[in-house]
Amino acid sequence: MARGWFTLETELMLRYAVIGRPIAHSRSPDIHRAFAEQTGKALHYDRIEGSAEHFEQDVRRFFATGGSGLNVTLPFKERARAMADRVSVRAKVAGAANTLGMQGHDLWADNTDGIGLVRDLMDNLGRVLVGARVLMLGAGGAARGVVQPLAQAGVAALHIANRTEARARHLVEDLVGACPGMSLQHHAWQALDWLAPFDVVINATSTAVGGELPKLPTGLFASDGLAYDMGYGSEPTPFLRVAAEIGAVRLADGLGMLVEQAAAAFELWHDVRPDTKPVIDTLRA
């Protein structure tokens, strides 16, 4: 009897999920369940292993069978944006979406990665971004998603250095028009020597999950400069290790950004802003 009631109750719950490949280690279910508990929402949040062959069909089936919202992670963010009927300005500029939902018969797509980074930097780490000089390492999808939100937060100058400089040049050409008021420039890695120092250096390369960065010069960081890795892991990332060696005294990984982007997605779906601090603290512990 009790079991029957439980089944009925869970069937009536709103369903959410994160889709990506690989997905087994995603922390999103823990984060969204914690937010749901905090805000008194009854919901299910699962992991879905995405497939390169039928990602779009899987997304459509999820919503057709009563799903309420999807988070999208690597490597499907561009495809999520491309398949949506309505795309937010920030997802258009990012060229990618991490949050999907339905309004009527329309699939909408948004991108909360950039606001997640900005909130972590400003609210959790106490960084003043207005007027800041920021260096970003990397020019792939992760970098693209955060450029315009950094401009909107008041960053004065964003310098982008990438191992393959042509890719950084394309990124700047694509996004410069979307970032009025911010100086946006690309550089070869070797130019970092004479561009330093920076208030914040953000690692947006994929090296947190394996791989060493090319050399970084001493003097890269201003005296109170922050080294921020958009990646995270149980150990300090290769970038954070190198940053400490060359004198950065303030170091942060991307766990706070992960929780903040989830909070912004949660707010889009549920119209309530969860408290991120206890969730960040729990994940760190």
> What amino acid positions are annotated as catalytic residues?
77
Q: Which is nearer to ligand ATR, 167 or 241 (CB)?
A: 167
207 binds ligand ATR (CB under 6 A): yes
Among 46, 206, 217, 268, binds ligand ATR (CB under 6 A): 206
Q: Which is nearer to ligand ATR, 46 or 78 (CB)?
A: 78
95 binds ligand ATR (CB under 6 A): no
Among 44, 60, 92, 167, binds ligand ATR (CB under 6 A): 167
| Number of residues engaging ligand ATR in binding (CB under 6 A) | 17
217 binds ligand ATR (CB under 6 A): no
Closest approach, Cβ 282 to ligand ATR, in A, equals 26
Closest among 128, 144, 138 to 222, alpha carbons compared: 128
Q: Which is nearer to ligand ATR, 4 or 211 (CB)?
A: 211
Closest among 61, 49, 131 to 102, alpha carbons compared: 61
Q: Which is nearer to ligand ATR, 98 or 207 (CB)?
A: 207
Closest approach, Cβ 273 to ligand ATR, in A, equals 27
22 binds ligand ATR (CB under 6 A): no
3 backbone dihedrals φ, ψ, rounded to 5°: -65, -40
237 binds ligand ATR (CB under 6 A): no
Report the DSSP beta bridge partners of residue 45. 16
Distance of CA 190 to the CA centre of its chain: 27
Note the residues at the interface with ligand ATR (CB under 6 A): 138-143, 162-164, 167, 205-207, 211-214
